[in-house]
Structure 1
Amino acid sequence: MSRVHVKGLILSLVVFAGFVQRESRNGLPVQTDQNGGLFLPDGFEATVVVDSLPARARHMAVNDNGDIYVKARFARDKDESVIALRDTNGDGRADIMKQFGGLARERAYGTAMRIYNGYLYFSSELQVYRYKLKPGQLVPDSPLEVVLTDDHPHGMHEHIAKPITFDNNGNMFVPFGAASNACQEKNRTPSSVGIDPCPMLEDHGGIWRFDANKTGQTQKDGYRFATGLRSVVAMDWNPVDNNLYALQHGRDDLLMLWAGVFSPWQSAVLPAEEFFRVTDGLDGGWPYSYYDQMQGKKVMNPEYGGDGNLVGRAAGYEKPIIGFPGHWAPNDLLFYRGTGAAKGFPEHYKNGSFIAFHGSTNRAPYPQAGFFIGFVPAKADGMPSTNWEVFADGFAGVDPIVNVSDAVYRPMGIAMGPDGSLYVAETEKGKIWRITYTGDKKQFGTAQLAQMEKRKAMSNIRTPDKITDNLDRGRPIAGGKVYGVYCSACHQRNGLGDSQRFPPLAGSEWVLGDKKKLITVLLKGLEGPIEVKGQSYNSVMPQHSFLNDADIAEVLTHIRSNFGNTADAVTVAEVSDVRKSLDNKASVQRKTPVNRKK
């Protein structure tokens, strides 16, 4: 266990963590006490740079002198959203930490940390910032510059983080995510059809290109480089073929929204997370279509008449290089360029791409999946191949992963050190590993790769069997049918949420408090930042007014009397009274004339 001693802004960190060896159902080791708990190919070693960060960790960048800059998940103050780490004695472990950066008025959560042309770039939900770095200086004393501001009104707070990457010509690429599954008329409402054409695509659901050296920009100063991409978090520029690459998060909720069309198994494994070579003008097909990795083709979304097989106009949209299984959450991408460095990797990894799969939340009733670092080898021309490998696994520490909160670690950020080493950051504890190769590079090959290929049999990586991997096989759905279909995808089967976007129901003051308030949340939905058990969340709780009063009473009674909760039941009459009150208020608002200035 690590001990953190705080004196001003300097923390001395002891970074040892041990694990007990365990076996999975198929005999493969899940976690060991070596390599900080990671499973790596023979010849690789992992050092724990820091065991935990108080503000946790998302993405990171490593400077030429080895200093590490990490985007905090939870800043102590909103103007301290960057964590700087330094190793002063050369043992690979951080012994100095300082926290700084950002603006007090801004939401600290974001998804970017890059070093480009001597500047440290990072983002919040709505802004991209930068500091000029000076040699030898851990915390820059240069003024904070705002490079880009997202000036759109955001009624929905999904997919608005700002990942960034840069080309070789002074351009910065920034996705603007779309807060919807498929541009429905009523977001997250069962059987709601999609709007055609989708108005969101005018300023969201794509990637925009900006001048990396200009400050004070908004979206109108940029150029829409690609469209039809719902949510991009993992993105990098490949300097070998001089092209942008990105991974799209596929849509969610096929079962919740279209239970009569898709089975629980289809909803768990579809649609694919798409790995694109993003050229100027690319259209990825969102919201009209999705990619089915098992059929190897794009098909129409059900909001636009699809049934899981209909191709229609989906045939005209860009196909991915690789379609990874659904909900793996690809959250960082790095083209590796360190094969010639001292601690660099064997030639097999030259120009290949590492992908951090943060892990799913909505695969119930099947095991959650992802939670590993994948690798896509490069072809001779430097472009990614269509094959992929498991590079680092064991982050979750359990098999199977029933609830996302069961996972010990969830990989998020990847960065390369000046010596060719690979850094990996995770979100649950704020742990960071440094991976180096210490074996004979000339001997690396088939045997080591075959060893890692066996990891694909783990339940967090393989495509689940429809029957044997169903965690509800032979017993009632956890939480009843209503909870299992409409609630468990976000709040999880154990009611603990996912620690990132979706809050816990267990011990929640929102669940255990005023019943009228709780019923109102289910009927009207809830958007914007809230606090649950002392932690902030900023996602969307969709309205569930389409459920009848009995279903709402049943599911609210369930969450108030399970997960360690012991509150009294919610009755059908109480739900009916709140629904009537809301309907009456809405009717009055519709009839009340709008006041106009004379």
Structure 2
Amino acid sequence: MSKLYQTFRTRRMPKIYFAAFIIFFTIYGFTHYQSSKLPPGDPNNAGLILPDGFEALAVVDSLPGFARHLAVNANGDIYVKTRLHARNDGYGNIAMRDTDNDGKADIITPFNKYESSQYGTAMKIHNGYLYYSSNLIVYRQKLEPGKLVPEGKIDTIVWDMPPSHSHQTKPIAFDGRGYMYVGWGLGSDVCTNGRPGAMGAGKADPEIPGEGCPGMIDHGGIWKFSESKLNQKQEQGKRVATGMRSIVGMDWDKTTNALYAVVHGRDNFRMLWPGMYSPWESAVLPSEELFKIHDGIDGGWPYYYYDHIRGKKYLNPEYGGDKVKEGNGAKLTKPVMGFPGHFAPNDILFYKGNQLPARYKKGAFVVLHGSTIRQPYPQAGYFVAFVPMEGGKVTGPWEVFANGFAKNPILTANSAGYRPMGITEGPDGSLYISETEKGKIWRVMYKGDKAKFGPAQLAKMVTEKNTAANIKDPDPIKDDLDRGKPVVASAVYSMYCAACHQRDGKGDNSRFPPLNESEWVNGDKNRLISVVLNGLSGPIKVKGQDYNDPMPAHGSFLSDDQIAEVLTYIRSNWGNTSSAVTKDEVAAMRKATTK
């Protein structure tokens, strides 16, 4: 460096030029040094389809208990929230370390046993602490330099009252000013009893919270808490957002100094309103929403839904809507971006590093876990999107950043292979992506020329968006998987059961249990009839796995003949060989259980 300086002096170059050269040399050198230190990607990018210049490797192929969200420490240690504690010997978290810098985790250590359903989700590192959540509680633990697994006491930061339900996921985000934001979903599709044609509880646009959906009084929104005060109850926080059904991913964008959240829309237009919505409309609507959160924002749910095709909020039919009525929807805050229905956005990340091309610092990555209820069309989602933004405003259509997690076409959620879940950033700017079905973790790196990254490098991702069955809008006729096929399934099952238990009776490996070779299907016939007639709530175990989503009662809208038909169909398919159910047996059970 001294010789370099002497050269500049000999040639009498101004000091400002010398300083500029040094800055350039430092940046250039660091960039190339960093790139040279990145491990090689796996063959075929570990299955992922990425823009040109990117490589991916599998940090780990599978984890016991699978995976929800994840975080990476400043030294590269990875922390993962376990999806199914029981399959991880009861442990809720997993810590991983790469000791030889090949990108692969060679130390994998489960830690901390605590109660949680599979909806416990958060995993964040903030100010030297590891924050994570069950479906009811947000915890915190001090990370110690050099130690992979935190050994100190577990602090309870925020806790929720049981019982739990499917949308109590407790995602978290930090604003850098000492506050933490916590999502509080509501375990309902649209605040009804689940019967077709049933009206929603309360009235739309309530001026007093108690006049609307009762659950919205203390659910369906985002609350703000101190990030360090212990044992905070919900009432000690401040509600900053409402009208949001299920919030699984949140992140704070330092550029716009604002909180952003991805929100799941409602389901089952066709099943609940068959005379109003076509199968195609029910598959692509309503929109999944990306919101920029401001104090007092109202997303409109359960009274309204967003139609990304028409760019408007409409009244839900449960509150008097007819696909045309807008009510007061125009007064609600529109989402920053609307994704097609049932894509299931489960995480969001605003990139802060320097490894990736600069364009990825202007926008948000969104992980789309994938649909379960799009039949008779292929299931969709199952990829990572990028939303280009500047100043908090979208500057173009959403893009496909990573695909290839699932095998197309995806007929049922349980046959997808992998379902991406969480995304985070490593200290060197690499991206890490988790998935829920096997617990695979990918590391995505950029090794191309950042200065030349542009449309040519994105061309194949544009093709993915327009042609991949799990991403493109399905053609109403050509993409109907049942078109031209003989009807072999039960009509009742196809309409009322397949959305949850899937076309093949195997459930979705997550919320809804399998029916194939199930002890509930092949066991006590009267118990099975009662479940269909009267519904079922509370945790159950099916084939060794716990499930906690309620099943609505079907007895009020299905006849004895229909229930007998569908149960006979279920008990004689997918490996089940049990006896038929008669309408007389259903009638007797209906009489015995009717109050």
The number of residues matched between the two structures is 545
Q: Is the 8 A contact 1:35 1:45 kept in 2?
A: yes
Residue by residue, what CA displacement relative to the aligned partner does 1:127-180 show, whole Å, maximum 9, x if unpaired? 1111011111111111011111101544xx220121111112111111111111
Task: Find the aligned partners of 1:346 and 1:17 in 2 and give their Cα distance.
Answer: 18
1:194 is aligned to 200
Gap runs ≥5 in structure 2: 1-39, 204-211
Distance 1:527-1:476 versus aligned 2 partners, 3 A rule: farther
2:427 is aligned to 418
Letter in 1 for 2:424: A
**Could you tell me which of 406, 417, 420 is aligned with 1:408?**
417
Pairing 1:166-315 to 2, within 5 Å after superposition: 166-184=174-192, 187-195=193-201, 196=203, 197-315=212-330
Q: Is the 8 A contact 2:73 2:427 kept in 1?
A: yes
Task: Find the aligned partners of 1:433 and 1:268 in 2 and give their Cα distance.
Answer: 29
CA RMSD of aligned residues (A): 1.7
**Could you tell me which of 427, 450, 455 is aligned with 1:446?**
455
Query: How much does 1:385 deviate?
Result: 3.2
1:346 is aligned to 357
Q: Is the 8 A contact 2:302 2:316 kept in 1?
A: yes
Task: Find the aligned partners of 1:515 and 1:266 in 2 and give their Cα distance.
Answer: 36
**Could you tell me which of 560, 563, 571 is aligned with 1:552?**
563
Task: Find the aligned partners of 2:489 and 2:111 in 1 and give their Cα distance.
Answer: 43
Residue by residue, what CA displacement relative to the aligned partner does 1:367-412 show, whole Å, maximum 9, x if unpaired? 0000000011232x3654352100000100x221111111110000
Comparing 169-178 and 468-477, the one that deviates more: 468-477
**Could you tell me which of 93, 103, 106 is aligned with 1:95?**
106
Residue by residue, what CA displacement relative to the aligned partner does 1:217-273 show, whole Å, maximum 9, x if unpaired? 110111010001111112111111110111110001111111111111111110000
Task: Find the aligned partners of 2:174 and 2:571 in 1 and give their Cα distance.
Answer: 49
The SS at the match of 1:162 is coil
Letter in 1 for 2:168: I
Gap runs ≥5 in structure 1: 1-15, 19-32, 587-598
Task: Find the aligned partners of 2:183 and 2:313 in 1 and give their Cα distance.
Answer: 22
The SS at the match of 2:493 is helix
Q: Is the 8 A contact 1:51 1:431 kept in 2?
A: yes
The SS at the match of 1:312 is coil
Task: Find the aligned partners of 2:284 and 2:489 in 1 and give their Cα distance.
Answer: 22
Q: Is the 8 A contact 1:337 1:351 kept in 2?
A: no
2:166 is aligned to 158
Letter in 1 for 2:241: A
2:96 is aligned to 85
Task: Find the aligned partners of 1:448 and 1:486 in 2 and give their Cα distance.
Answer: 44
Q: Is the 8 A contact 2:53 2:447 kept in 1?
A: yes
Task: Find the aligned partners of 2:200 and 2:138 in 1 and give their Cα distance.
Answer: 31
Residue by residue, what CA displacement relative to the aligned partner does 1:83-120 show, whole Å, maximum 9, x if unpaired? 000000011000001111242x5546401100111110
Q: Is the 8 A contact 2:336 2:393 kept in 1?
A: no
Question: Is structure 2 residue 57 aligned with structure 1 residue 47?
Answer: yes
Comparing 36-45 and 445-454, the one that deviates more: 445-454
1:578 is aligned to 589
Task: Find the aligned partners of 1:350 and 1:109 in 2 and give their Cα distance.
Answer: 29
The SS at the match of 1:484 is helix
Comparing 62-71 and 469-478, the one that deviates more: 469-478
Pairing 1:377-416 to 2, within 5 Å after superposition: 377-379=388-390, 381=391, 383-396=393-406, 398-416=407-425
Task: Find the aligned partners of 2:231 and 2:472 in 1 and give their Cα distance.
Answer: 46
The SS at the match of 1:412 is strand
Task: Find the aligned partners of 1:131 and 1:478 in 2 and give their Cα distance.
Answer: 54
Pairing 1:484-499 to 2, within 5 Å after superposition: 484-499=494-509
The SS at the match of 2:130 is strand
Question: Is structure 2 residue 382 aligned with structure 1 residue 366?
Answer: no
Task: Find the aligned partners of 2:539 and 2:398 in 1 and give their Cα distance.
Answer: 38
The SS at the match of 2:328 is helix
Question: Is structure 2 residue 546 aligned with structure 1 residue 536?
Answer: yes
Letter in 1 for 2:198: S
- Normalising to structure 1: TM-score of the pair? 0.89
Q: Is the 8 A contact 1:205 1:230 kept in 2?
A: yes
Query: How much does 1:352 deviate?
Result: 2.1
Task: Find the aligned partners of 1:363 and 1:193 in 2 and give their Cα distance.
Answer: 23
Distance 1:477-1:528 versus aligned 2 partners, 3 A rule: farther
The SS at the match of 2:346 is strand
1:140 is aligned to 150
Task: Find the aligned partners of 1:209 and 1:478 in 2 and give their Cα distance.
Answer: 52
The SS at the match of 1:377 is strand
Q: Is the 8 A contact 2:337 2:394 kept in 1?
A: no
**Could you tell me which of 123, 129, 133 is aligned with 1:119?**
129
1:10 is aligned to none
Residue by residue, what CA displacement relative to the aligned partner does 1:318-351 show, whole Å, maximum 9, x if unpaired? 1111110000000000001112xxxx10111114
Task: Find the aligned partners of 2:52 and 2:163 in 1 and give their Cα distance.
Answer: 50
Q: Which has the larger radius of gyration?
A: 2
Task: Find the aligned partners of 2:578 and 2:108 in 1 and give their Cα distance.
Answer: 43
The SS at the match of 1:565 is coil
Task: Find the aligned partners of 2:487 and 2:120 in 1 and give their Cα distance.
Answer: 35
Q: Is the 8 A contact 1:370 1:460 kept in 2?
A: yes
Task: Find the aligned partners of 2:103 and 2:472 in 1 and give their Cα distance.
Answer: 34
Letter in 2 for 1:204: H
**Between structures 1 and 2, the one with greater helix share:** 2
Task: Find the aligned partners of 1:153 and 1:371 in 2 and give their Cα distance.
Answer: 30
Q: Is the 8 A contact 2:41 2:56 kept in 1?
A: no
Query: How much does 1:530 deviate?
Result: 1.2
Task: Find the aligned partners of 1:505 and 1:434 in 2 and give their Cα distance.
Answer: 36
Letter in 2 for 1:274: E
The SS at the match of 1:355 is strand
Residue by residue, what CA displacement relative to the aligned partner does 1:351-370 show, whole Å, maximum 9, x if unpaired? 42111100000001110000
Distance 1:115-1:384 versus aligned 2 partners, 3 A rule: farther
The SS at the match of 1:462 is coil
Task: Find the aligned partners of 1:274 and 1:162 in 2 and give their Cα distance.
Answer: 18
1:472 is aligned to 482
Residue by residue, what CA displacement relative to the aligned partner does 1:58-95 show, whole Å, maximum 9, x if unpaired? 10000000000000011246751000000000110000
Letter in 2 for 1:294: I
- Normalising to structure 2: TM-score of the pair? 0.89
The SS at the match of 2:85 is coil
Comparing 191-200 and 493-502, the one that deviates more: 191-200
Query: How much does 1:527 deviate?
Result: 1.4
Task: Find the aligned partners of 1:121 and 1:298 in 2 and give their Cα distance.
Answer: 35
Query: How much does 1:568 deviate?
Result: 1.2
Task: Find the aligned partners of 1:279 and 1:547 in 2 and give their Cα distance.
Answer: 44
The SS at the match of 1:235 is strand
Letter in 2 for 1:272: S
